Amino acid sequence: MNNPPCSSPAPTVDAAARVPCAPPRAVSRAVPRAPLRAPPATAARAGRSSRLALAACVGLTALSGCGASVATVRAGDLTVRTLTLNYNNVHVVQRGAHTVVVDAGLQGDAAELDAAMRAEGIDPAKVGAVIVTHGHADHAGGARWFKQRYGTKIIAGSGDQPLLRSGRNDKLCSTGTLASWQEDQHQHATYTPVEADVWVGTSQELAPVAGLAGRVEALPGHTQGSLVVLVGQLAFVGDLFRGGLVGSSAVRHLYMCDLAANGRDLTELLARWPQATTFFTGHFGPVARDEVVALAARLRAEFPKASPKQTLPPKPAVPLPPRAE
């Protein structure tokens, strides 16, 4: 593991709640408390029973959907609450009076997300900005809720303008059987288009636009406009990779069109942010740095001939097939 230059203590999970598999969700339902989830550094030592319970919950989610869950990580003066709805993580990052939200989940989950935030004592009206790590429906779909109701600033990557302005995904490329089963459904997930207030081309300081000190930087790969958010020792990476289903491992994402380039992007991520110790992903996670290093090595070994990085024009959103009446 690369030791970070920062002397702050490693992030720890202070409290976590995961709602057991439940009947269809009520919009106004508060997020109940449930058994603790292990922090990244100790997840590998988590009890076998809790891991099996999580796996069972995830498996059943495919059939019925699990309710909102929340896991809280404290790192120095930062608090991160990860609210998860339908596999999709929304990270609420707070330092003192300043709050930003990284990703906004599906449009259809926005009301429940709002209620879950309030249940955690977070006032959605006081969020300085919603940062959309990329324009896929399960990350950008809920952003419009905040903009419309609270006038919240939306920050997104300029490479994903075609996605946010159409409310449609670009071409997804499944990386395994599980994804291929669901690819058609995920490909055609849509949301009401939303316009960002700040389009990030290469880099953006957060403090002037959202109050909270940090940086947003472009790291195209999963989409052309993918962003990474860095706050202190914490990095929020969207779908650059995902957390493992069990434990704290880093796993290639279900959809990635160029896995060779993905290995190179992970290496670049680690080099650009040597201070980052914990990586918050769009799905599952969070992930400790060692695990990201290991995934980057696995991808480089599997795909040793990554093509040189190119600056590509934004990929178009995929047209929708005609709807059956």
Residues near Zn ion (CB under 5 A): 136, 239
Minimal distance, residue 135 CB to Zn ion, in Å: 8
Minimal distance, residue 7 CB to Zn ion, in Å: 35
Minimal distance, residue 138 CB to Zn ion, in Å: 7
Minimal distance, residue 58 CB to Zn ion, in Å: 18
Q: Which residue, 137 or 210, has its beta carbon nearer to Zn ion?
A: 137
Question: Which residue type does 70 have?
Answer: V
Using an 8 Å Cβ cutoff, are 169 and 318 in contact? yes
Q: Which residue, 94 or 281, has its beta carbon nearer to Zn ion?
A: 281
Cα 262 to Cα 258: distance, rounded to the nearest angstrom: 6
Residues 6+ apart with CB under 8 A from 170: 135, 162, 163, 223, 224, 315, 316, 317, 318
Q: Which residue, 98 or 168, has its beta carbon nearer to Zn ion?
A: 168
Q: Which residue, 91 or 136, has its beta carbon nearer to Zn ion?
A: 136
Q: Which residue, 131 or 209, has its beta carbon nearer to Zn ion?
A: 131
Q: Which residue, 76 or 193, has its beta carbon nearer to Zn ion?
A: 193
Q: Which residue, 19 or 251, has its beta carbon nearer to Zn ion?
A: 251
Q: Which residue, 136 or 153, has its beta carbon nearer to Zn ion?
A: 136
Minimal distance, residue 134 CB to Zn ion, in Å: 6
Q: Which residue, 16 or 295, has its beta carbon nearer to Zn ion?
A: 295
What order do you get walking across the sheet with 287-288 strand by strand?
A: 203-205, 215-218, 227-231, 234-238, 278-281, 287-288
Minimal distance, residue 227 CB to Zn ion, in Å: 12
Question: Positive or negative CA dihedral for 283, 235, 237, 263?
Answer: negative
Minimal distance, residue 137 CB to Zn ion, in Å: 9
Minimal distance, residue 104 CB to Zn ion, in Å: 13
Minimal distance, residue 190 CB to Zn ion, in Å: 14
Cα 260 to Cα 301: distance, rounded to the nearest angstrom: 9
